[in-house]
């Protein structure tokens, strides 16, 4: 095919085009072959992760079932399209193969799972830092803690941390795994995935945000003095404003327009014990009653 000067200029423009961080076209070229049906909130979350070139990362905290893995995959695909190959995914050990398969099936991205056997094999093959790969590296929390020195020595382009609520108590020195993971990836872009950024205490929220940026809330003492007692609406608004640059959350009720959930109806059945079971229950009940007296 003969390329005219006009088409040559057009192709050159497309190849060198730069899109703003909040532009949908930023993700378009990296998703041409992706086997995923995207929902608006997933695209919004992925763009949020790119919202500032100076950002140290983001917390994607959609409710369960809204596709946080897909959102992370979008970010990974974009980084890969930009030829940024140093990508690490830290997940619970039981999710390593699932991540490996989903990245391959949905985004056509190959990855390697590093564990003790594969790590030692890489060493024997002459790779003195097995985390130094030309494909995505997946490892567990415990393995990341054990090999944190190796992780620190890689200049990562992106780190994804799944089930990130496991790091919520990182502000406690006694939490060895959380502190090791945080320190190992302290100076790189991070995406934290969790459906439960807050469970028992606001300090857990502080811990997660500190993994992204230690200076968002300053130290623990300062956070407690400002937010330990959310006495009025102004306190809530102040906390939301602090979280806005680093955290995005979508609830199920917000996506009912385009995501249809099946109503789950519990079916219960009356339990009728057999004569022998009834005798056993009566005997245990009599024993416990006598003991309580």
pLDDT in tens, 102-135: 999 888 889 999 999 999 999 999 999 999 998 9
Dist. CA 131–CA 135, nearest whole Å: 10
DSSP state of 224: H
64 or 261: whose pLDDT is higher?
Answer: 64
pLDDT at 31 exceeding the cut of 80: no
Dist. CA 18–CA 55, nearest whole Å: 18
pLDDT at 49 exceeding the cut of 90: no
Whole-number mean pLDDT of the chain?
80
Distances (CA, A) of 140 to 90, 143, 185, 281: 5, 5, 14, 45
Structural domains present in the chain: 30-292 (3.40.50.10810)
Average pLDDT rounded to a whole number, residues 230-251 = 77
pLDDT at 57 exceeding the cut of 80: yes
Tokens (6 digits) for 249 = 């959350």
Please enumerate in sequence order all residues whose Cβ is within 8 A of that of 186, keeping only pairs 6 or more positions apart, or say none. none
pLDDT at 265 exceeding the cut of 90: no
161 or 285: whose pLDDT is higher?
Answer: 161
**pLDDT at 155 (0 to 100):** 92
Dist. CA 247–CA 59, nearest whole Å: 5
211 closest CA partner among 176, 244, 170, 172: 170
**pLDDT at 115 (0 to 100):** 93
Tell me the pTM.
0.76
In this structure, is the dihedral angle defined by the CA atoms of residues 140, 144, 146 and 151, taken in order, positive or negative?
positive
pLDDT at 43 exceeding the cut of 70: yes
Name the pLDDT band for 240 (thresholds 50, 70, 90): confident
**pLDDT at 187 (0 to 100):** 85
pLDDT in tens, 211-225: 888 877 777 887 777
Average pLDDT rounded to a whole number, residues 25-34 = 54
Name the pLDDT band for 21 (thresholds 50, 70, 90): very low
**pLDDT at 246 (0 to 100):** 84
pLDDT at 188 exceeding the cut of 70: yes
């Amino acid at each position: 095919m003969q390329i005219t000067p006009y088409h040559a200029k057009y192709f050159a423009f497309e190849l060198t085009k730069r899109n703003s961080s909040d532009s949908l076209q930023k993700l378009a070229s990296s998703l041409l072959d992706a086997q995923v049906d995207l929902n608006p909130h997933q695209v919004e979350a992925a763009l949020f992760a790119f919202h500032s070139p100076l950002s140290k990362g983001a917390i994607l905290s959609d409710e369960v079932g809204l596709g946080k893995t897909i959102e992370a995959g979008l970010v990974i695909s974009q980084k890969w399209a930009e030829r940024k190959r140093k990508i690490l995914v830290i997940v619970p050990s039981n999710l390593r193969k699932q991540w490996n398969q989903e990245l391959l099936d949905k985004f056509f991205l190959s990855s390697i799972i590093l564990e003790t056997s594969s790590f030692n094999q890489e060493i024997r093959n002459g790779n003195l830092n097995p985390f130094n790969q030309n494909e995505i590296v997946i490892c567990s929390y415990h393995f990341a803690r054990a090999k944190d020195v190796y992780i620190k020595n890689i200049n990562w382009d992106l780190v994804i941390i799944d089930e990130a609520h496991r790091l919520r108590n990182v502000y406690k020195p006694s939490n060895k795994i959380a502190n090791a993971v945080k320190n190992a990836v302290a100076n790189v872009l991070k995406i934290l995935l969790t459906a439960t950024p807050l469970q028992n205490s606001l300090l857990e929220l502080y811990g997660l945000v500190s993994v992204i940026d230690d200076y968002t809330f300053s130290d623990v003492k300062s956070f407690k003095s400002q937010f330990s007692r959310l006495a009025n609406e102004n306190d809530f608004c102040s906390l939301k404003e602090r979280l806005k640059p680093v955290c995005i959350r979508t609830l199920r009720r917000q996506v009912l327009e385009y995501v249809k959930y099946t109503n789950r109806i519990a079916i219960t059945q009356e339990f009728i014990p057999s004569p022998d079971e009834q005798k056993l229950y009566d005997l245990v009940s009599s024993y416990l009653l006598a003991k309580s007296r």
